Amino acid sequence: MQISKGSIKRIVVFGPQGSGKGTQAEMISQDLNLPWIATGNIYRQHIQEQTELGKIAEQYIKEGKLVPDDITNKLVAERLKERDAHKGFIFDGYPRNIDQAKIFSDMVKIDAVLEIAISDEEAISRISGRRVCPCGVSYHIMNNPPKKEGLCDKCGESLIHREDDTEPVIKERLAIYHHDTEPVLDMYLKQGILIRINGEQSIADVHKEIFLKLNNEGFAKK
């Protein structure tokens, strides 16, 4: 698929956990031949290379804390200087709050913001149904169940329901997402660049809706 006008090149993708945001971001990145820039990957690269910022970020991540905004903003600014990002990008996981969004606006002009919207109930159902095997295979009790309940099809091991995938943990993360991200989405709505996508469809249909809406000529003029 192609974006008709070729003018929408700097895109940010939002969505709660379970929305498939990362999958969609990666797909759009391939379609448009633009880099997929996820903050998680930026942290990993800097930690691996043990850069000054990477060492600081590592301390927070090790302690299970969020990397402070000023560190993240600096890492993003550096990433934007890399050659591949000059022609455009698909950002995923940044900006995650209004302070980051304001700094980001000073760094670069955004063409479109995609919100992959799913209800909290849907997010909880998708994530809490996940079961993983130590061998790496993952299942979903409703959408992709193993042949024998609780056992891996591939290796026969007992499946695990990770602590992170339990309802109380998901609810807490959703609350943080709403609190931190909604003001950001409001800001982009006011700028006329927010595109809401129904995330409660198949991966292929979500992908299709994104392209239909990006191709809508009236969009960029709003």
**Which residues are annotated as catalytic?**
21, 96, 130, 162, 173
**Contact region with Zn ion (CB under 5 A), list: 87-95, 105-113, 147-155, 214-222:** 147-155
**Contact region with Zn ion (CB under 5 A), list: 2-10, 56-64, 142-150, 153-161:** 153-161
Contact letters (x/-) for Zn ion, 76-115, by CB under 5 A? ----------------------------------------
Give yes or no for residue 154 binding Zn ion (CB under 5 A): yes
Q: Could you give the CA distance from residue 124 to residue 108 in angstroms, rounded to a whole number?
A: 34
Q: Could you give the CA distance from residue 95 to residue 105 in angstroms, rounded to a whole number?
A: 10
Residue in the block written with tokens 């820039």: 37
Give yes or no for residue 133 binding Zn ion (CB under 5 A): yes
- Cβ at position 156, least distance to Zn ion in Å: 7
Which of 152, 170, 210, 214 binds Zn ion (CB under 5 A)? It is 152
- Cβ at position 22, least distance to Zn ion in Å: 23
Which of 107, 135, 175, 203 binds Zn ion (CB under 5 A)? It is 135
Structure tokens at 186: 């409001």
Beta strands at 130-132 and 138-140: parallel, antiparallel or unpaired: antiparallel
Q: CB-based burial of residue 81 (10 Å sphere; 0-12 exposed, 13-18 middle, 19+ buried)?
A: exposed
DSSP conformational letter for 65: P
Q: Which of residues 46-65 bind Zn ion (CB under 5 A)?
A: none
**Whose Cβ is closer to Zn ion: residue 151's or residue 169's?**
151
DSSP string, 22-52: HHHHHHHHHHHT--EEEHHHHHHHHHHTT-H
**Whose Cβ is closer to Zn ion: residue 135's or residue 203's?**
135
On whether the CB atoms of residues 11 and 90 are closer than 8 A, the answer is yes
**Whose Cβ is closer to Zn ion: residue 87's or residue 162's?**
162
Give yes or no for residue 159 binding Zn ion (CB under 5 A): no
Q: What is the dihedral of CA 41, 205, 11, 61, to 10 degrees?
A: -20
Give yes or no for residue 155 binding Zn ion (CB under 5 A): yes
